[in-house]
Amino acid sequence: AAIPVPKASCKNLCHRHQLFINFRDLGWHKWIIAPKGFMANYCHGECPFSLTTSLNSSNYAFMQALMNAVDPEIPQAVCVPTKLSPISMLYQDNDDNVILRHYEDMVVDECGC
């Protein structure tokens, strides 16, 4: 069967967007000592079938996009983080303990379908 041509324009394709988490916005600056915030980023955009091979896609995304093309009831593949990195946070708890802890998967480095 013929596969429909995707309508997504380049700027709507799955890619990484900047997102700065400012702890002051959350009211957490009262107990998080450092950092004051960090660039966490997020993934957003479409994953059309014709581009799943070039959008850092998983094989599964390729198959889902293929199925979406033949049956629109199947949702399109989704744009998700494919590479994340950690940050360290320094904060104070209710017992006045100062704690430094590493947290994995806090920053989106790359996105894919």
Partner 1 sequence: ALGQPSQCQEHVFLQFLGLDKVPSPPKFQPVPYILRKIIQDQAAAPSAGVSEDLCYLKELGVRGNVLRLLPDQGFFLNSKKHSQTSSCLQKLLYFNLSAVKEKDQLTIAQLGLDLGPSTYYDLGPELELALSLVQKASVWGKSIPKPGKLFALQSVPWPQGALRFNLLDVAKDWYINPQKNAGLFLEILVKGDRDVEVNFQLEDTCAKLRRSLHASLLVVTLNPEQCHPSSRKRR
Q: Closest CB to partner 1 among 72 and 86? A: 86
Under rule CB under 8 A, how many of the chain's residues touch partner 1? 33
Q: Rounded to whole angstroms, how far apart are CA atoms 11 and 29?
A: 34
Q: Rounded to whole angstroms, how far apart are CA atoms 90 and 88?
A: 7
Question: Quick check: 25 binds partner 1 (CB under 8 A)?
Answer: yes
Residue in 1, 5, 10, 98 binding partner 1, rule: CB under 8 A: 98
Q: Closest CB to partner 1 among 62 and 91? A: 91
Question: Quick check: 87 binds partner 1 (CB under 8 A)?
Answer: yes
Q: Which of these ranges, 28-36, 42-50, 54-62, 67-75, lies near partner 1 under the rule CB under 8 A?
A: 28-36
DSSP 37-51: EEE--EEE-B--GGG
Does an H or E element contain 59, and which?
helix 59-70
Q: Closest CB to partner 1 among 17 and 24? A: 24
3-state secondary structure of 53: coil
